[in-house]
Amino acid sequence: MAYKGKYKPKNRDKYKGNPTNIIYRSLWERRFMVYCDSNDSVVKWSSEEIVIPYRSPFDRKIHKYYPDFWVKIKKHDGTIETSIIEVKPKSQTVPPKPRLNKRKSGRYLLEMKRYGVNEAKWKAATTYCEYKNWKFKIITEDQLLTK
C-alpha cells in the first residue's frame, strides 16, 4: 500500500466536502480516514477542508494551516462533539533533544524549525476551536495503533 494516495469513502454522505478528492499523506492519516468512514459514532468528517491562519515564528508572516481532519462525533450520552484532529508522529509533538556535540547540526535545526511551526499552528488551531466551542486534538501512533 502506498504511503500517499487518494481515499475513496464507502459512506460518501458522511464526508463534508468533495469526496472524490480526499488525499492521505501517511498511512496513519489513511487509518484515521477508515475509522471516520466506518465508525457509526462519526456523524460527519472532512480532511484538509478548514483553513486556519497562523503566524510563523521564523518569518513572522501569516501562513495557512490546513488541519488534517474535522470530525463530528455522537458521544454515548447523545451529544455531538466537534473536533479538529491533527495526525502526527509522536516524535514531532515534542521539542527535539539537543545533540551531544556543541555545534547544532542541520538536522537538529530543521527539527527545531518544524516543531516551532507546528507549535504555532496548534496554538492557532486551539484558539480557533475555543472560539467555535470545538476541541483540538493531536493524535499520534499511540492512539492509532491501538484497537
Given 68, 72, 86, 121, which residue is catalytic? 68
Residue 97 is among the residues annotated as catalytic for this protein? no
pLDDT, average across residues 75-98: 93
Contact 57, 120 (CB under 8 A): yes
Distance CA 84, CA 137 (A): 6
CB 59 within 8 A of CB 88: no
Domain range list for the chain: 5-144
Which pLDDT does position 3 carry in this prediction? 87
CATH match for 5-144 among 1.10.3210, 3.40.1350, 3.30.450, 3.30.70: 3.40.1350
- The per-residue pLDDT for 145 is 78
Give 147's pLDDT tier (boundaries 50, 70, 90).
Answer: low
Say what the pLDDT of residue 82 is: 98
142 is a catalytic site residue? no
User: Cα separation of 118 and 113, whole Å?
Assistant: 9
Strand ordering across the sheet containing 135-139: 42-47, 69-74, 80-87, 135-139
